[in-house]
Amino acid sequence: MLKYETMQEYSEALLYQGETNQRIVVVDCDLGEPSGTKSFRERFPHRYINVGIAEQNAVGVAAGLASEGFIPLVHSFSMFASLRTCEQIRNSLCYTNMNVKVVGTRAGISNSYLGATHHAIEDIAVMSSIPNMVVVSPCDGKEVRNALKASIEYDGPVYLRINKTNTENISKNDFMLGKASVIRDGRDLTLIGTGDQVINCVKAADTLMGYGLSVRVVNMSTIKPVDEQIIVESAKRTGAVVVAETGNMLNGLGAQVCRVVCRERPVPVRIVGINDSFTETGSYYELMHKYRIDENSIVKAALESVNFKVPVTAGLPDEFKDDIA
Amino acid sequence: MLAEKDQVFLKNESNEIRKLIIRFSNPELSNHFGGPFSSVEIMTYLYMFVMKDMDLSQKERDKLILSKGHCCPTFYALLGRRGYLSEEELHTYKKLNSPLQVQPDMKRLPFVDFSSGSLGQGLSVAVGMAIANKMKNSKNNIYVILGDGEIQEGQIWEAAMAASKYRLDNLICFLDKNNLQSDGNVCDVMPIEPVAKKWETFGWFVTEADGHDFCQIDQKFKECSQASGVPKMIVCNTVKGKGVSFMENKYEWHSKILSNDMKLLALKELEGMVC
């Protein structure tokens, strides 16, 4: 199967968006090359700003550009794009609801060999907790293109979280802000993944099929606003949920899913994420394995979740029984 | 040289603005006075002279970012003097549901060119606006008012470098140098001198003025207009709490409760000022 490098896809998509929309301005913080902005810079030098290693200023400059009608895209590694700039994003971007896109590249642990200081494991929680911010997390090269287009079309602040991965395309061509998509359907359990965990969910689902389980896989490509409808529907349909994310398991997508599940349809939920610890230098796959966020961890969590299921149909009134597949 | 009639007009306006600020301050709450009073002449010059004929409800015009957002009582009073806000509306300052937030909020009050409040962020936004104006070939200027304590923030110097790199001669900055900050003297809390030299070294055109003297402000502002290819900084030497003797040079008047009795005392002093 053909593989697509997400940053290469982003680079081409950005160039295409730059061609079609004259209001797009790229703001870089000396990480243009790994952020995929080089071709944009060469093609549109008059719409390219590099403020150097000064992420806080980058966000402010972007806010000023947006207030004058431009659509700035600020680029840095996710770690710095979300945390070094956190207060500027809150007060200069989100409080003012500016039309700025913060593009965090090499999200999660995909900056593998640059080590713990460059791994973004808190960005989902931090960006999601700022009012007005939309958090988007595409799962493959194709979805990076679709997510960029949709983020630019949306009038307001967006944090676009891109993992650096090289995988086959698994997303459907149905990206919509705030809407998750069902990659495959099943009855016994739902795996909800975001970003680079969606492919792990698909692989885990294959393994689980071998154990005789029918598994639904959901690609939660927008983390905020989270698609509550699909979470409720999945809980009702399958009665057990696993959420997989490449980030701290506290306060991320898993927490959002739990909030919705607890309120609408309590069923067992397991979260596969980094267990509140810092990471280290290593290869992407070594880190996935060591910090228990790989496909095997999802399989294990899935079996736990299914085993924890209570035969809820027993004592339920008839009208609720239909909800359980 | 500023014409005699303009001088009289501006002096009279600045006195009226101080009185308005005293009048709409809430006697039950701590209010900012020190900073708003040190910046009265700078802002009066900008809104009542430089931007006097500009309709503040329009988008295409010069813009001002009050980076030291807590000085917005001066801005609100100016909006009152220019007829955009009634005295009744001014009295909603700090009250629930008021468009007059304690820090200027562009979403609640459209005359605010950009929300501020968290110190050190306004200059970056101004740099973005100034770059945008260059991209659009717009001749409009961007003005920024910074506090001297505020420039202790590192982001200011990131923005200073960027303004210089992009040769933003449409960016004119006023440093309200009143030598005091929340915890005491700027030179004790965190020395910033030599201020002028620092900005010069960052590639800015720098000049100094008495920030309460309209003739000097005007002269230095015109000097700035001559300099091309560089951002401009006017270091304005000011007095915190200027105009009310019991507030002048007292850091505790950065933010403090002004009782009704003290209000009368302050108003009496300002009434007595002959313009």
pTM of the entire predicted model? 0.95
Asked whether the beta carbons of A136 and A163 are under 8 A apart, the reply is no
d(CA B97, CA B76): 16
ipTM of the complex: 0.96
Task: For residue A236, give both structure tokens.
Answer: 């009702």
Residues 80-109 of B with CB under 8 A from A: 105-107
Query: Which of B107, B124, B133 lies nearest to residue A96, judging by beta carbons?
Result: B107
How far is the CA of B92 from the CAs of A122, B86, B96, in angstroms?
40, 10, 8
Domains defined along chain B, listed by start: 4-271 (3.40.50.970)
Does A62 touch chain B if contact means CB atoms closer than 8 Å?
Answer: yes
Residues 104-123 of B with CB under 8 A from A: 105-107, 113-115, 117-118, 121-123
d(CA A245, CA A196): 8
State the virtual CA torsion across A169, A173, A174, A176 in degrees, nearest 10.
Answer: 70
Does B135 touch chain A if contact means CB atoms closer than 8 Å?
Answer: yes
Q: What is the Cα A46 distance to its own chain's centre?
A: 31
Whether the CA torsion A58, A62, A65, A68 is positive or negative: it is negative
Alpha helices in A24-161 (DSSP H): 32-35, 38-43, 55-67, 78-79, 86-88, 123-128, 141-153
Pairing of strands B184-185, B180-181: antiparallel
What is the layout of strands, in order, in the sheet containing A24-28?
Answer: A48-50, A24-28, A71-77, A101-105, A158-161, A134-136, A222-224
State the virtual CA torsion across B266, B267, B272, B273 in degrees, nearest 10.
Answer: 80
d(CA B210, CA A296): 70
Task: For residue A135, give both structure tokens.
Answer: 């958090």
Min Cα separation B57/chain A (Å): 15
pLDDT in tens, chain B (275 residues): 899 999 999 999 999 999 999 999 999 999 999 999 999 999 999 999 999 999 999 999 999 999 999 999 999 999 999 999 999 999 999 999 999 999 999 999 999 999 999 999 999 999 999 999 999 999 999 999 999 999 999 999 999 999 999 999 999 999 999 999 999 999 999 999 999 999 999 999 999 999 999 999 999 999 999 999 999 999 999 999 999 999 999 999 999 999 999 999 999 999 987 55
How far is the CA of B165 from the CAs of A46, B127, B135, in angstroms?
14, 11, 15
Min Cα separation B107/chain A (Å): 7
Domains defined along chain A, listed by start: 4-167 (3.40.50.970), 181-307 (3.40.50.920)
| Nearest chain B residue to A26, by CA | B128
pLDDT single digits (tens) A1-27 = 789 999 999 999 999 999 999 999 999
Indicate the SS3 state at residue A222.
strand
Q: What are the φ and ψ backbone dihedral angles of A243, each rounded to 5 degrees?
A: -110, 130
CB contact under 8 A, A61 and B131: yes
> How many CB pairs below 8 A link A and B?
99
Q: Is the peptide bond before B104 cis (omega within 30 degrees of 0)?
A: no
CB contact under 8 A, B132 and A70: yes
